[in-house]
Structure 1
Amino acid sequence: MEKQQGLIASDQLRVIIGLGKTGLACARFLQQQRINFIVVDSRESPPELAVFRAEFPLVQVYLGGIPEEVLSRAAELIVSPGVPLTEPAIANAKAKGVRVIGDIELFGYYCDRPVIAITGSNGKSTVTTMVGDMCKAAGLKTGVGGNLGIPALSLLDRGFDIFVLELSSFQLETVDTFAPTVSTILNISPDHMDRYPSLMAYHQAKQKIYRNCKAAVSNKDDALTQPLLPQQIPHVMFTLREPDLKEFGVIEDDTDGGTFLVKGQDRLLSTRELKVVGLHNYANALAALALGYQAGLPVEAMCSALRTYKGLPHRCEWVAEKNQVTFINDSKATNVGAASAALDGIGSEIAGKIILIAGGDGKNADFDILGDLFNQYCRYLVAIGRDAKPLLAVGRSAGVPGEEHDTLQSAVSKAAEMAQPGDVVLLSPACASLDMFANYEARGNEFCQWVKELVND
């Protein structure tokens, strides 16, 4: 694969900072390119250490800190997304002229195929997999990954025709020359406020996805997603309202009560044809259609992929139903914006109310944003984890009763007890999981386990 402009000479030293999944992918890629590197991690026992030492027994590894003298000798630092660029050793090296990049910038140096790049506070995994399915339905050999699943560098050299990448704000902090074919920010809501000093700083990191893109998609209903681009860059918007001529949106047909996803006034498909439900999923489908359109995918292939798309685990995932009460796992809702989307999307479509299980590590988020949705859609709030009490306080202010539980098992039991026919018991935590669980998947799996025991009892 031919090198792109901007690369540092292969005999100059790279330092990979962080030995998780991304750091390991970077190491494997640099070795394939015969580029010298060493690895640094502030942890004594990073998650991929054993695998790394088995594969790279001769590569030097520094653990338990980030030594400044090592970083200052490097031509380039390849920083994993979980490592803040404000780390003093990294900031000092950068100030001395050491180049600081991440895995996505490195991917961009070597990628010579179209890239659809997707970010946002919520829905990015769903939209990424939707667009991936659309590309495959169009007959393209498609690499799907990034922040979702397979690290981007691990997708190179596999003969893919096109790449669809989910990108986090952390990954976007370190991009400079990365130039996607199509870019989007789906939405912006407060997240990672434990890493960013303000919503504006978080917003600025997300906006870097548009920097060098050849075409853009944005959310007309969210002003913070609008790109600042030259007029000649093609730009399409999507909306959950009736769209203008060149936009993607929703129209209601009063003759049969149907709702349709459209481009301008051209109907693409009925929401009844979708297997995923809720307004937030209609927005996800519209975003995917707009991205596919900008990438030149056939409409027939895009609609075919949406008709068969079943959604992802832990994202408004149907688990079970008992006594006309539905149980839904939305453990991936690790921030306030994601929980808001689930509450609004589900609450607006059911006859009953929502019994919400929420809580965990709130990452300094403002839970007051949820108050109106609690009042409108919730019957009862079962709170767990580190930030259970502030969530319950917001619930009380919104007129929604609730109580705190120490375990997810007892929370599920209480939620089922409070539910009435037509209600939904929804796990949508609005918080990270690491105060109680290994990750959001473990939290969602445990929820499913207790629900299935309950309904089979």
Structure 2
Amino acid sequence: MAEQRLVILGGGESGVGTALLAKTKGFDVFVSDKGKIKENYKQVLVQNDIEWEDENHSEEKILNANIVMKSPGIPDKAPLVKQIREKGIKVVSEIEFAAQYTNATIIGITGSNGKTTTATLAHHILKEELNVGLAGNIGDSFAKQVLEEDFDNYVLEISSFQLDDIIDFKPKIAVITNITPDHLDRYDYKFENYIASKFRIAKNQSKDDYLIYDADDEVIVDYLKKNPVQSTLLPFSLVKTIENGAYLDKENNIKITIDNTQIIMPTNKIALEGKHNVKNAMAASTVAHLLKIRKQTIRESLENFQGVEHRLEQVLKINKVQYINDSKATNVNATYFALESMSAPTVWIVGGVDKGNNYQELFQFVNEKVKAIICLGAENETLMSTFGNMVDVIVETQFMSEAVKIAYKLAESGDNVLLSPACASFDLFENYEDRGRQFKNAVRNL
């Protein structure tokens, strides 16, 4: 039988990782990127004799594939993807491709918000007692880790785009942190399409697998009622009493019960602040309890976990003003959590690429806590018209350094300056990390 030909669209972390794994598994591999492939990735492809092209898609080299792995960033609407599908060529995501080459226990974590924190926290707990990798939307690609590390367990942070292209992928433990409108531009502006996409994480699960989810999230609860899954359900809640799963008792302890074994964790010492982080802690601790991690280990890990960069990250205090980097807040719901956790008057830096945002849920916090708004985006009209009447000062800029200087002038002793954009970053920055780093550098240069 001739070698299978795998064409990879996108020469980034997931693309190059998949190329390396596929080459080892005997595939004829070709990497094609419409943009420029970064120099470090090019070097890896060259050193491994993997054929590639960038700033171009050569159709004749792509449409003869047996299987195509496309980067999560490429939408199904792209003409080339349509052509590939019309020819009946199988299209998969990196996690679908890589999962078939490992027998590891997979913990898959998805959700509109909280998935990075929950995945990082789960990994932080598990690594104390298990051999475990952290991949997916985070760090080194899953495919590369399957090739080089071969861990016994993987915690994968998985986006809806990655789930759109799974066929047989099934995690032993799936987590859905929450579902709020996001990325609707990729889902024909239909929220129900996005919800269904998230639930693909459980579509191949059987009753021996687990689905951990937020029982306070009406979207999730409602979907499960209408579309039951095979998995064993382990909900978590801040307000309900949960028999199998996790909840917060009257003394503010997290109680987790699985198969009649219960563990109790006090929340007063959890390093991360905010109600949403109690939920992230519940989800991660439920994973750990399922995998038989000792209660003491879970407790200590929750107490010493430092959080995720660009997620409510305390940068510096200057003249008694706290500067906070929440660049990872790329949707309204993430910014909701950020503003909810502010306990002082706040100068809020917001804006970027608006994915059809509805800012209404933020109004109570803006009225209550925000003293000034700095709009940092290429297009700020929606923000200006939405929030113009709510605060005394609202200004716009297209430079991070300027945004931070304005904030410095507006903030008084005891205030917060919060970068929590509620939008994607691609108008003025490379990605949310670039935006967050520019913010931190600007603060340090004050």
Q: Common fold, TM-score beyond 0.5?
A: yes
What amino acid sits opposite 2:138 in the alignment?
A: L
Asked whether the equivalents of residues 202 and 229 of structure 2 are also in contact (C-alpha less than 8 Å), the reply is no
Say whether residues 1:142 and 2:132 are aligned partners. yes
- In the alignment, the residues of structure 2 paired with residue 381 and residue 186 of structure 1 have an alpha-carbon distance, to the nearest angstrom, of 29
**Corresponding residue to 2:233 among 235, 255, 261:** 235
Asked whether the equivalents of residues 378 and 400 of structure 1 are also in contact (C-alpha less than 8 Å), the reply is no
Change (3 A) 1:384 1:238: same
Say whether residues 1:439 and 2:439 are aligned partners. no
Q: How many residues are aligned here?
A: 434
For 2:327, the equivalent position in structure 1 comes to: 331
State the identity %.
31
Say whether residues 1:409 and 2:401 are aligned partners. yes
Change (3 A) 1:52 1:232: closer
What amino acid sits opposite 1:149 in the alignment?
A: G
Asked whether the equivalents of residues 18 and 98 of structure 2 are also in contact (C-alpha less than 8 Å), the reply is no
**Corresponding residue to 1:200 among 172, 182, 192:** 192
For 1:222, the equivalent position in structure 2 comes to: 217
Q: CA deviation at 1:65?
A: 4.1
For 1:4, the equivalent position in structure 2 comes to: none
- In the alignment, the residues of structure 1 paired with residue 187 and residue 282 of structure 2 have an alpha-carbon distance, to the nearest angstrom, of 29
For 1:269, the equivalent position in structure 2 comes to: 265
Change (3 A) 1:219 1:170: same
- In the alignment, the residues of structure 2 paired with residue 319 and residue 60 of structure 1 have an alpha-carbon distance, to the nearest angstrom, of 43
Change (3 A) 1:156 1:367: same
**Corresponding residue to 2:245 among 244, 247, 252:** 247
- In the alignment, the residues of structure 2 paired with residue 204 and residue 414 of structure 1 have an alpha-carbon distance, to the nearest angstrom, of 42
Asked whether the equivalents of residues 261 and 286 of structure 1 are also in contact (C-alpha less than 8 Å), the reply is yes
Asked whether the equivalents of residues 359 and 431 of structure 1 are also in contact (C-alpha less than 8 Å), the reply is yes
1:15-70 CA-to-partner distances (Å, cap 9, x unmatched) read: 11111111111111111112212222223x3235632552244x443444444444
Matched residue of 2:186: which SS? coil
- In the alignment, the residues of structure 2 paired with residue 408 and residue 89 of structure 1 have an alpha-carbon distance, to the nearest angstrom, of 36
- In the alignment, the residues of structure 1 paired with residue 309 and residue 357 of structure 2 have an alpha-carbon distance, to the nearest angstrom, of 24
- In the alignment, the residues of structure 1 paired with residue 407 and residue 119 of structure 2 have an alpha-carbon distance, to the nearest angstrom, of 32
- In the alignment, the residues of structure 1 paired with residue 91 and residue 138 of structure 2 have an alpha-carbon distance, to the nearest angstrom, of 23
- In the alignment, the residues of structure 2 paired with residue 318 and residue 402 of structure 1 have an alpha-carbon distance, to the nearest angstrom, of 24
Change (3 A) 1:224 1:298: farther
For 1:170, the equivalent position in structure 2 comes to: 161
**Corresponding residue to 1:391 among 380, 383, 389:** 383
- In the alignment, the residues of structure 1 paired with residue 439 and residue 80 of structure 2 have an alpha-carbon distance, to the nearest angstrom, of 41
What amino acid sits opposite 2:235 in the alignment?
A: M
- In the alignment, the residues of structure 1 paired with residue 211 and residue 139 of structure 2 have an alpha-carbon distance, to the nearest angstrom, of 24
**Corresponding residue to 2:299 among 303, 314, 317:** 303
Gaps of at least 5 residues in structure 2 are none
- In the alignment, the residues of structure 1 paired with residue 125 and residue 66 of structure 2 have an alpha-carbon distance, to the nearest angstrom, of 40
- In the alignment, the residues of structure 1 paired with residue 405 and residue 55 of structure 2 have an alpha-carbon distance, to the nearest angstrom, of 43
Change (3 A) 1:434 1:50: same
1:233-276 CA-to-partner distances (Å, cap 9, x unmatched) read: 311111222533333222343xxxxx333337977333331221
Q: CA deviation at 1:88?
A: 2.3
For 1:153, the equivalent position in structure 2 comes to: 143
- In the alignment, the residues of structure 1 paired with residue 229 and residue 202 of structure 2 have an alpha-carbon distance, to the nearest angstrom, of 13
What amino acid sits opposite 1:335 in the alignment?
A: N
Asked whether the equivalents of residues 182 and 295 of structure 1 are also in contact (C-alpha less than 8 Å), the reply is no
- In the alignment, the residues of structure 1 paired with residue 389 and residue 248 of structure 2 have an alpha-carbon distance, to the nearest angstrom, of 34
1:297-316 CA-to-partner distances (Å, cap 9, x unmatched) read: 33332222111101111110
- In the alignment, the residues of structure 1 paired with residue 38 and residue 356 of structure 2 have an alpha-carbon distance, to the nearest angstrom, of 26
- After alignment, is 94-103 or 310-319 more displaced? 94-103
- In the alignment, the residues of structure 1 paired with residue 32 and residue 218 of structure 2 have an alpha-carbon distance, to the nearest angstrom, of 39
Gaps of at least 5 residues in structure 1 are 1-8, 254-258
- After alignment, is 296-305 or 271-280 more displaced? 296-305
**Corresponding residue to 2:363 among 371, 390, 409:** 371
For 2:27, the equivalent position in structure 1 comes to: 35
What amino acid sits opposite 2:124 in the alignment?
A: D
Asked whether the equivalents of residues 12 and 75 of structure 1 are also in contact (C-alpha less than 8 Å), the reply is yes
Matched residue of 1:272: which SS? coil
**Corresponding residue to 2:47 among 41, 46, 55:** 55
| TM-score of the superposed pair, with normalisation by structure 1 | 0.88
Q: CA deviation at 1:397?
A: 4.5
- In the alignment, the residues of structure 2 paired with residue 353 and residue 51 of structure 1 have an alpha-carbon distance, to the nearest angstrom, of 49
1:406-435 CA-to-partner distances (Å, cap 9, x unmatched) read: 322232232233334443211111112222
- In the alignment, the residues of structure 1 paired with residue 72 and residue 4 of structure 2 have an alpha-carbon distance, to the nearest angstrom, of 23
Change (3 A) 1:294 1:317: same
Matched residue of 2:109: which SS? strand
| TM-score of the superposed pair, with normalisation by structure 2 | 0.90
- In the alignment, the residues of structure 1 paired with residue 409 and residue 241 of structure 2 have an alpha-carbon distance, to the nearest angstrom, of 43
Change (3 A) 1:397 1:187: farther
Say whether residues 1:101 and 2:99 are aligned partners. no
